[in-house]
Amino acid sequence: MLPESWDSAVDAEHRCFAFLARALNPLESDQRAIDALREEIGRVAWESVVELASRHLVTPTLYRGLADKGLLADLPADVRDYLGAIHALNDQRNRRLLHQTVEIAAALNGVGIEPVALKGMADLCAGLYPDPGARVIGDIDLLVASNQLAAAVAALAAIGYRASGPADFAYGSHHHDRPLARPDDAAWVELHTEPVAPAFASLLPGDRMLCAARRVAVGGQALGLPSPREQVVHNIVHTQLADRHYWLARVPLRPLADLARLRLQNDDRIDWREILAAFDRAGHGSACRAWLITAERLFGQDLPDGVTPDLGARLACWRIRLQERHPWLMAAGDWYGYHQAMLAELGAGPAPRRRVLARLLHPKGYRRYSRALRTHMSRAL
């Protein structure tokens, strides 16, 4: 039996996670839900909430969520000041990122290339978050056609970008080229020829995303944004499969909040039956269903029409709940998750299989893999 203090710590972290999810929830805006959050503000362990928000990269999103619900005045003053300062810094950074993206688009437009923004930059340019400071963005991800990659790299080299990132990584068979960086810029740039890793490329082919992209003018430059269908598929594939959260039985809140907002804006334009059929054909239907069930559980967002849980999705959600109640199980979950993801890559075709074997046989790649696994396990324990 676990000691009582352990149980208390687990319960406290679970309450903090539940509070954070409700504060982020873009659907939870009725007065009863807001009043319940207001009551919880005085009882929640704010140090743990802030640490959890930082770990999930949603600190400025938390600030905006509480502001939208009219709850900032109810926060302890030091918490309100801290969240406000992080939001202000992120707002400044995102404006720099947008300026940087406009400059990159101008350079690429100059050689006849109209890139498609991916992930966080697509969310920012599409107005997924009305407040531009609410969404944390890591780097600038842009999709170009494979036959345009060399010209795109040369165009960015002409305005000062140089290759960065680990030199021993096999970018030649990767879905994006080696990152490009420039002194004093807010982030580096990744030029993708495919939106997702080769193991999952059948779910989201790059040529399909390029053809379906909607053209917009950002700062006077031509930029493509993924269609709603491609955006939600990218969200699911990247989170559940490429980042392995389906196999790890983890719930990252930033992409879950993105999914909820994408559905709020676009659900009437998305054919979920077609999307689910595509995931089923690729053998990843349970991962798609589990992510949608998680949004229903944490954000109260109804499952799309035609989506019903299967055994794999139910088991994945059960594992999430089990690891929430018993965090020491996350070490075993990480081990299981990493190897299930590797098996999925091995079964995805010759190119992904070669990449897995290259990682395992290359000494530096193996050391990097082992180091990442040890890090995950030490955090879980």
The CATH number of whichever domain residue 103 belongs to comes to 3.30.460.40
pLDDT at 72: 96
pLDDT at 77: 96
pLDDT at 136: 96
The alpha carbon of residue 194 and the mean position of all alpha carbons in its chain are separated, in whole angstroms, by 17
Residue 145 forms part of a structural domain: yes
Residue 334 forms part of a structural domain: no
The mean per-residue pLDDT over the stretch 58-64 comes to 97
Contact by Cβ (8 Å): 370, 335: no
Residue 273 forms part of a structural domain: no
Q: What tens digit of pLDDT does each residue of 259-281 get?
A: 999 999 999 999 999 999 999 99
The alpha carbon of residue 188 and the mean position of all alpha carbons in its chain are separated, in whole angstroms, by 17
Residue 134 forms part of a structural domain: yes
Please report, rounded to a whole number, the percentage of residues in the chain having pLDDT higher than 70. 83
Structural domain that includes position 104:
92-227
- Cα gap 160→150, rounded to integer Å: 15
Per the model's pLDDT, the better-predicted residue between 103 and 379 turns out to be: 103
Q: What tens digit of pLDDT does each residue of 324-341 get?
A: 777 766 666 676 777 777
- Cα gap 245→131, rounded to integer Å: 27
Domains: count for the chain:
1
Residue 53 forms part of a structural domain: no
Residue 104's nearest CA partner among 14, 218, 9 is 218
Residue 61 forms part of a structural domain: no
43 C-beta neighbours (distance < 10 Å), count: 8
Contact by Cβ (8 Å): 196, 234: yes
The H or E element spanning position 222 is strand 221-225
Residue 175: phi and psi, rounded to 5, are -85, -10
Q: What tens digit of pLDDT does each residue of 27-37 get?
A: 877 888 899 99
Residue 71 forms part of a structural domain: no
- Which burial class, exposed, middle or buried, applies to 224 when counting CB atoms under 10 A from its CB (0-12, 13-18, 19+)? buried
- The order of strands in the sheet holding 214-218 is 162-163, 180-181, 189-192, 140-143, 116-117, 221-225, 214-218
The mean per-residue pLDDT over the stretch 152-179 comes to 79
The mean per-residue pLDDT over the stretch 217-243 comes to 95
Residue 189: phi and psi, rounded to 5, are -120, 135
Paired strand residues for 114: none
**Could you tell me the pLDDT band of residue 177, with boundaries at 50, 70 and 90?**
confident
Residue 206 forms part of a structural domain: yes
pLDDT above 50 for 370: yes
**Mean pLDDT over all residues of the chain?**
87
